[in-house]
């Protein structure tokens, strides 16, 4: 059992103030939350489990644990509706309505000019790839890239996949209300293929919850097979954009928790090399966005509600387990080593041997810190509206911010890509006469030499 003072590190209001005399309940709830998590992540592959008309995805059916699951949901629901807990949410700036981005008003035009030659012949070189040339989008990775919990307003919602609003694969509504990479690309190419919409599996979002680096290769194999089967895809001619984000689960729930940073980074690099080698050999005309592993230690400084504190232990047990602040130092060393390994792999030139394939690091995920907002007590705290109810996964608003930052990185040259947090649809980069293409290592050098691609 993990000490609750470690779990609640950084909270300006203690749980004891709101749940006085309930330490046995806290202990029981943490145990229950761990049990429900084991149920949800599934130890076998069975159909989703129905619990009183509530479908939890990828649940295993274990009759002996059903009462525990129901008990956990009931207790968490009770706590979420208590007046004391609501006061705590207010103090911590948790406002459900603010977790959705503010729509761009109809009178505001799309910030970029869509070229009149948008539908000319597709280029033969990945170094001359314009937004309108992308015909297919896809993703590989874990629950962050797949949008888990993005629309959640309670505990159960954390286990629902909301790929339709994921920054990298979502295609719900349009760029005004759901800013995503696909929705931005659709302004340039309305015939874009592969984005996710609610209730449909006809998309190429192959990421999976609880995925580790070693799972990326199998995701890529499934992606290639699915594209080949899809009659909408001209496999050899269509230009494809694949976004990859992985490594968070390897760091948060590895076994052991804190291997040597060098050894962990070598394993990370090996798994990335496997999947990128496979894509280079098997997926023609592809632009890959490799996003650096996120620095999960940043979550240590976020002020947490009770639910967030419990979920932190579950979702990143290595960081929030016994050890306290020492865990932060150990994990930061691993994160930094992962970043070095990622840059070493891509800068090696291994993926610059073909004119129709490249891998670009879009660095916006490497050192993100959410903006701060002032609460009712006058304290400047992390703006939790960018996070889901677990304070770890992204809300829809957070996904919109990620889409904005990745889009800008795509149109910024190597060495000049920004890593600052940007609000959704603010400071949007656009193609121009001198910068008509997505940046690669090759056209970045040309741009730096002569001022145009």
Same domain, 215 and 336: yes
Our answer to whether residue 250 is catalytic in this structure is: yes
Tell me, yes or no, whether 264 lies in a domain: yes
Write down the catalytic residue from 238, 268, 393, 399: 393
pLDDT digit string, tens, across residues 317-342? 999 888 888 999 999 999 999 999 99
Residue finishing a domain among 96, 116, 144: 96
Tell me, yes or no, whether 103 lies in a domain: no
Beta strand pairing call for 54-56 and 49-51:
antiparallel
Q: Can you give the pLDDT at residue 32? A: 54
Write down the catalytic residue from 85, 143, 299, 312: 143
Output the domain CATH number for residue 333: 3.40.50.1110
Tell me, yes or no, whether 330 lies in a domain: yes
Tell me, yes or no, whether 118 lies in a domain: no
Under-70 pLDDT residues of the chain: 1-97, 116-119, 375-377
Same domain, 82 and 223: no
Same domain, 33 and 178: no
**Which secondary-structure segment (H or E) carries 250?**
helix 248-252
Same domain, 24 and 168: no
Structure tokens at 68: 């525990």
Tell me, yes or no, whether 430 lies in a domain: yes
Residue finishing a domain among 51, 79, 96: 96
How crowded is residue 38: how many other Cβ atoms within 10 Å of its Cβ? 15
- Peptide bond connecting 256 to the previous residue in cis, omega within 30 degrees of 0: yes
CB contact at 8 A, 328 and 319: yes
Tell me, yes or no, whether 113 lies in a domain: no
Same domain, 74 and 134: no
The number of residues making up the chain comes to 453
Same domain, 82 and 161: no
Our answer to whether residue 127 is catalytic in this structure is: no
Q: Domain range spanning residue 219?
A: 126-450
Same domain, 53 and 202: no
Same domain, 199 and 314: yes
Write down the catalytic residue from 133, 142, 250, 390: 250
pTM of the model as a whole: 0.81
Tell me, yes or no, whether 107 lies in a domain: no
Same domain, 254 and 147: yes
What's the structural domain count of the chain? Answer: 2
Q: For residue 386, which of 366, 410, 411, 404 has the smallest C-alpha distance? A: 404
Tell me, yes or no, whether 111 lies in a domain: no
Same domain, 353 and 247: yes
Q: According to DSSP H, which parts of 52-111 are helical?
A: 66-81, 83-91
Same domain, 371 and 260: yes
Same domain, 366 and 298: yes
Q: Can you give the pLDDT at residue 386? A: 94
Q: Can you give the pLDDT at residue 100? A: 94
Our answer to whether residue 355 is catalytic in this structure is: no
């Amino acid at each position: 059992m993990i000490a609750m003072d470690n779990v609640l590190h950084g909270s300006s209001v203690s749980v004891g103030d709101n749940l006085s005399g309930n330490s046995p309940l806290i202990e029981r709830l943490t145990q229950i939350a761990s049990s429900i998590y084991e149920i949800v992540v599934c130890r076998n592959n069975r159909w989703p489990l129905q619990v009183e008309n509530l479908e939890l995805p990828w649940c295993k059916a274990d009759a002996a644990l059903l009462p525990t699951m129901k008990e956990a949901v009931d207790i968490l629901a009770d706590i979420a509706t208590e007046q004391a807990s609501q006061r705590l949410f207010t103090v911590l700036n948790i406002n459900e309505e603010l977790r959705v981005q503010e729509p761009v008003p109809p009178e505001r035009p799309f910030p970029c000019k869509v070229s009149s030659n948008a539908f000319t012949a597709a280029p033969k070189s990945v170094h001359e790839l314009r937004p309108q040339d992308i015909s297919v989008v896809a993703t590989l990775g874990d629950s962050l890239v797949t949008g888990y919990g993005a629309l959640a307003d309670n505990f159960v919602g954390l286990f629902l996949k909301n790929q339709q609003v994921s920054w990298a694969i979502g295609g719900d509504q349009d760029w005004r209300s759901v800013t995503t990479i696909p929705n931005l690309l659709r302004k340039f190419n309305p015939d874009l293929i592969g984005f996710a919409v609610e209730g449909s599996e006809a998309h190429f979002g192959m990421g999976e919850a609880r995925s580790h680096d070693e799972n990326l290769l199998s995701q890529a194999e499934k992606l290639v097979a699915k594209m080949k089967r899809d009659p909408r895809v001209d496999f050899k001619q269509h230009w494809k954009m694949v976004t990859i984000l992985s490594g968070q689960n390897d760091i948060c729930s590895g076994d052991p928790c804190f291997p040597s940073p060098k050894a962990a980074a070598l394993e990370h690099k090996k798994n990335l090399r496997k999947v990128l080698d496979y894509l280079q050999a098997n997926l023609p005309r592809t632009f890959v966005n490799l996003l650096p592993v996120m620095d999960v230690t940043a979550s240590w400084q976020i002020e947490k509600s009770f639910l967030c504190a419990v979920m932190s232990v579950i979702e990143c047990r290595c960081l929030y387990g016994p050890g306290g602040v020492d865990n932060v130092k150990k994990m930061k060393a691993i994160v930094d080593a992962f970043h070095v390994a990622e840059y070493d792999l891509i800068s090696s030139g291994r993926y610059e041997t073909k004119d129709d394939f490249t891998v670009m690091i879009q660095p916006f995920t490497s050192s993100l810190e959410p903006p701060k907002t002032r609460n009712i007590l006058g304290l400047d705290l992390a703006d939790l509206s960018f996070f889901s109810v677990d304070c770890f996964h992204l809300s829809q608003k957070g996904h919109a911010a990620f889409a904005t930052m990745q889009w800008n990185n795509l149109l910024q040259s190597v060495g000049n890509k920004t890593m600052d947090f940007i609000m959704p649809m603010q400071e949007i980069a656009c193609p121009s006469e001198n910068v008509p293409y997505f940046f690669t290592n090759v056209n970045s050098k040309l741009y730096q030499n002569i001022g145009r691609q």
